[in-house]
């Protein structure tokens, strides 16, 4: 096995036992980036020299107590990283280098080896990584297909073993959906679990930070490190961070797993449905009790999300006016300068959302759209509260289809948005969700088999249970060990 194919756990053990050095491990990842990234475009910035210098420092210190020390990581280009360019994949931030690092990045520890900043949809607006100003990321399993989005660079880089793990953000599915499409593990923690300080805001009542890893166990390791109290993020909830790695080793006998009927709808690819149902049978074999449940307001998830998200986005993006933040397009007067700066600095999808958001927040339409969406949001939350009186967690497909072709949906926003149908509800209700590979399926329009993701949604702050179910599943199956062949 090549060093870059290791998991965090394996790499940490190898470093401790001095089987290899962090410099060697980092070099193998960097070599693989050099070999494959022209095709994949998973990175916007590669920090080769800084990574090797850090790895050397870690080797010299010989302290691998922090399980992430000396381990190469890719950081979505939405996290501020001190002295490393941070673009949010937008032209408007093309030349922005932050003077500080986000709390989540800092929490990885001083000895984390950042190999680069990963590609994404512009300001995290998208489900395919095609809206990046810096070129689209390709799916390592089939270069003609999208890796999902918006954290598509993070998931493609982990899937192709360019780094050992990555960080992403999830506002409506942006960690889980691309994890599903590229065959890796993606965890969105509970809203309020991980600090968002220093993460470029998309929609502040939905955004959450999480890991992209090769195994559920690695996701547990990273979550333990990045979850912390942070006075700089007022939405952080003051709750102990459990030892997730301990929790996941308990078996799942007698655990009640709900299967919401609204997530097996018309339009779901029959192969995806078959694979997910097999995974559910497997969970039953492991001793879980499978319970049919209903979340009746699920059908309003997408409309609610696509009103609340653009509303918050439009107000968050107001700061990129070329004066406070962002590159500037000079003009005769201030208004023209704003107009020119925003018209040239933002891409089509971001501008579309700013317009939708501004409209739904405007005086005449606020009650009919934004306020109404907030009320329905409460109903969706209550659906979950009700079923969680009955079951310990829920299992669903992560996406209705495997990876789709590049260019297939980009001109048709509604079809693109439908991809998020199973993921947005966890953000709306602030719940934790994880996606893990659970099989392969042939797409309707192709011959190559593609990964399928299983989503597990949990109660607030109960990441322990969903990680436990995922880990026990991975102990009994080997879907997570399948690798793409990037050639
Ligand atoms: N795909 C969703 C969107 O385009 C989710 C984005 C995200 O989670 N950042 O809004």
pLDDT tens, residue by residue, 32-75: 999 999 999 999 999 999 999 999 999 999 999 999 999 999 99
Token output for 90: 């937008």
Interval between CA 126 and ligand 1 midpoint (Å): 5
**Separation CA 200–CA 207 (nearest Å):** 10
Average pLDDT over residues 236-255: 96
CB 484 within 8 A of CB 140: yes
CB 190 within 8 A of CB 226: no
pLDDT score of 322: 83
Peptide bond into 294 cis (omega under 30): no
Q: What does the domain layout of the chain look like in residue ranges? A: 3-256
- For the cut 90, the answer to whether the pLDDT of residue 219 exceeds it is yes
pLDDT score of 324: 82
Residue 420 CB–ligand 1 contact under 6 Å: yes
CB 132 within 8 A of CB 119: yes
* Best residue among 171, 206, 209, 404 to mutate for probing ligand 1, ranked by most atoms within 8 Å of CB: 171
* Best residue among 123, 153, 173 to mutate for probing ligand 1, ranked by most atoms within 8 Å of CB: 173
pLDDT score of 340: 92
Angle at 70 between CA 69 and CA 74, to 5 degrees: 100
CB-based contacts of 306, cutoff 8 Å, min separation 6 = 356, 417
- For the cut 80, the answer to whether the pLDDT of residue 249 exceeds it is yes
Q: What is the DSSP letter of 206?
A: T
Residue 150 CB–ligand 1 contact under 6 Å: yes
pLDDT score of 325: 79
CB 87 within 8 A of CB 94: yes
Which residue, among 52, 404, 481, 467, has the nearest Cα to 244 in the 3D structure?
Answer: 467
Residue nearest to atom 4 of ligand 1 (CA): 126
**Separation CA 388–CA 377 (nearest Å):** 17
Residues noted as catalytic: 76, 150, 174
pLDDT score of 328: 87
**Separation CA 69–CA 119 (nearest Å):** 24
Q: Which atom of ligand 1 is nearest to the CA of 420?
A: 1
CB-based contacts of 323, cutoff 8 Å, min separation 6 = none
Interval between CA 458 and ligand 1 midpoint (Å): 20
- For the cut 90, the answer to whether the pLDDT of residue 459 exceeds it is yes
- Distances in whole angstroms, Cα of residue 236 to Cα of each of 111, 245, 344: 25, 22, 35
CB 471 within 8 A of CB 220: yes
- Distances in whole angstroms, Cα of residue 353 to Cα of each of 88, 340, 356, 456: 16, 18, 5, 29
Token output for 170: 């999830």
pLDDT in tens, 154-205: 999 999 999 999 999 999 999 999 999 999 999 999 999 999 999 999 999 9
Residue 174 CB–ligand 1 contact under 6 Å: yes
- For the cut 90, the answer to whether the pLDDT of residue 323 exceeds it is no
* Best residue among 155, 189, 420 to mutate for probing ligand 1, ranked by most atoms within 8 Å of CB: 420
Token output for 366: 């606020």
Interval between CA 21 and ligand 1 midpoint (Å): 38
Residue 202 CB–ligand 1 contact under 6 Å: yes
Residue listed under structure tokens 């992560």: 398
Query: Which three-class secondary structure state does DSSP give residue 444?
Result: coil
Q: Which atom of ligand 1 is nearest to the CA of 175?
A: 8
pLDDT score of 379: 98
Interval between CA 25 and ligand 1 midpoint (Å): 33
Q: Which atom of ligand 1 is nearest to the CA of 349?
A: 4
Q: Which atom of ligand 1 is nearest to the CA of 177?
A: 1
pLDDT in tens, 15-41: 999 999 999 999 999 999 999 999 999
Residue 170 CB–ligand 1 contact under 6 Å: yes
Residue 89 CB–ligand 1 contact under 6 Å: no
Residue nearest to atom 1 of ligand 1 (CA): 127
Interval between CA 73 and ligand 1 midpoint (Å): 22
**Separation CA 217–CA 223 (nearest Å):** 10
- pLDDT category, 332, cuts 50, 70, 90? very high
Residue 126 CB–ligand 1 contact under 6 Å: yes
- The average confidence (pLDDT) of the chain is 97
Average pLDDT over residues 147-155: 98
The b/e string for 161-175 (b: 16+ C-beta within 10 A; e otherwise) is: bbbbbbbbbbbbbbb
Token output for 83: 């002295």
Query: Which three-class secondary structure state does DSSP give residue 218?
Result: helix
Interval between CA 334 and ligand 1 midpoint (Å): 32
Which residue, among 264, 266, 288, has the nearest Cα to 276 in the 3D structure?
Answer: 264
* Best residue among 125, 306, 419 to mutate for probing ligand 1, ranked by most atoms within 8 Å of CB: 125
pLDDT score of 267: 84
Interval between CA 309 and ligand 1 midpoint (Å): 9
**Separation CA 97–CA 187 (nearest Å):** 27
- For the cut 80, the answer to whether the pLDDT of residue 487 exceeds it is no
Residue 125 CB–ligand 1 contact under 6 Å: yes
Average pLDDT over residues 450-463: 98
Stated length of the chain: 487
What CATH code would you report for 3-256? 3.90.1300.10
Interval between CA 185 and ligand 1 midpoint (Å): 17
pLDDT score of 238: 94
- For the cut 90, the answer to whether the pLDDT of residue 1 exceeds it is no
CB-based contacts of 371, cutoff 8 Å, min separation 6 = none
Query: Which three-class secondary structure state does DSSP give residue 205?
Result: coil
Q: Which atom of ligand 1 is nearest to the CA of 127?
A: 1
């Amino acid at each position: 096995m090549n060093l870059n194919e290791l998991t965090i756990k394996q790499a940490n053990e190898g470093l401790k036992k001095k089987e290899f050095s962090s410099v060697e491990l980092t070099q193998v990842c960097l070599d693989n980036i050099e070999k494959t990234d022209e095709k994949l475009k998973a990175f916007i910035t590669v920090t080769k020299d800084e990574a090797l210098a850090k790895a050397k420092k870690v080797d010299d210190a010989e302290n691998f107590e922090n399980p992430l020390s000396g381990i190469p990581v890719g950081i979505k280009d939405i996290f501020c990283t001190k002295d490393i360019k941070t673009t949010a994949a937008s032209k408007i931030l093309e030349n922005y280098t932050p003077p500080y690092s986000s709390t989540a990045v800092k929490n990885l520890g001083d000895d984390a080896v950042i190999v680069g900043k990963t590609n994404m949809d512009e300001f995290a607006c998208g489900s395919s990584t095609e809206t990046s100003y810096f070129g689209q990321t390709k799916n390592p399993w089939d270069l003609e297909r999208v890796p999902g989005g918006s954290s598509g660079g993070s998931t493609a880089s982990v899937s192709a073993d360019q780094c050992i793990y990555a960080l992403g953000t999830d506002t409506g599915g942006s960690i889980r959906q691309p994890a599903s499409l590229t065959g890796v593990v993606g965890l969105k923690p509970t809203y309020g679990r991980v600090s968002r300080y220093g993460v470029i805001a998309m929609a502040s009542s939905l955004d959450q930070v999480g890991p992209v890893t090769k195994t559920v166990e690695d996701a547990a390791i990273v979550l333990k490190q990045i979850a912390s109290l942070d006075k700089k993020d007022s939405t952080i909830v003051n709750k102990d961070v459990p030892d997730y790695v301990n929790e996941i080793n308990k078996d799942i006998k007698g655990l009640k797993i709900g299967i919401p009927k609204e997530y097996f709808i018309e339009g779901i690819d029959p192969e995806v449905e078959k694979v997910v149902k097999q995974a559910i049978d497997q969970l039953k074999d492991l001793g879980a009790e499978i319970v049919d449940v209903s979340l009746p307001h699920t059908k309003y998830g997408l409309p609610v999300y696509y009103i609340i998200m653009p509303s918050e986005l439009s107000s968050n993006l107001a700061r990129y006016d070329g004066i406070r933040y962002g590159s500037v397009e000079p003009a005769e007067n201030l208004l023209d300068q704003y107009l020119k700066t925003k018209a040239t600095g933002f891409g089509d999808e971001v501008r579309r959302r700013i317009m939708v958001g501004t409209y739904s927040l405007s005086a005449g339409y606020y009650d009919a759209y934004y306020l109404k969406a907030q009320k329905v949001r409460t109903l969706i939350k209550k659906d979950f509260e009700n079923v969680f009186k009955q079951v310990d967690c829920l299992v669903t497909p992560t996406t209705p289809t495997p990876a789709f072709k590049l260019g297939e949906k980009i001109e048709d926003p509604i079809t693109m948005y439908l991809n998020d149908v199973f993921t947005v509800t966890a953000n709306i209700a602030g719940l934790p969700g994880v996606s893990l590979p659970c099989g392969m399926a042939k797409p309707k329009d192709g011959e190559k088999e593609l990964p399928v993701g299983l989503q597990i949604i949990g109660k607030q702050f109960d990441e322990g249970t969903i990680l436990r179910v995922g880990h026990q599943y991975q102990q009994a199956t080997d879907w997570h060990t399948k690798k793409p062949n990037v050639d």
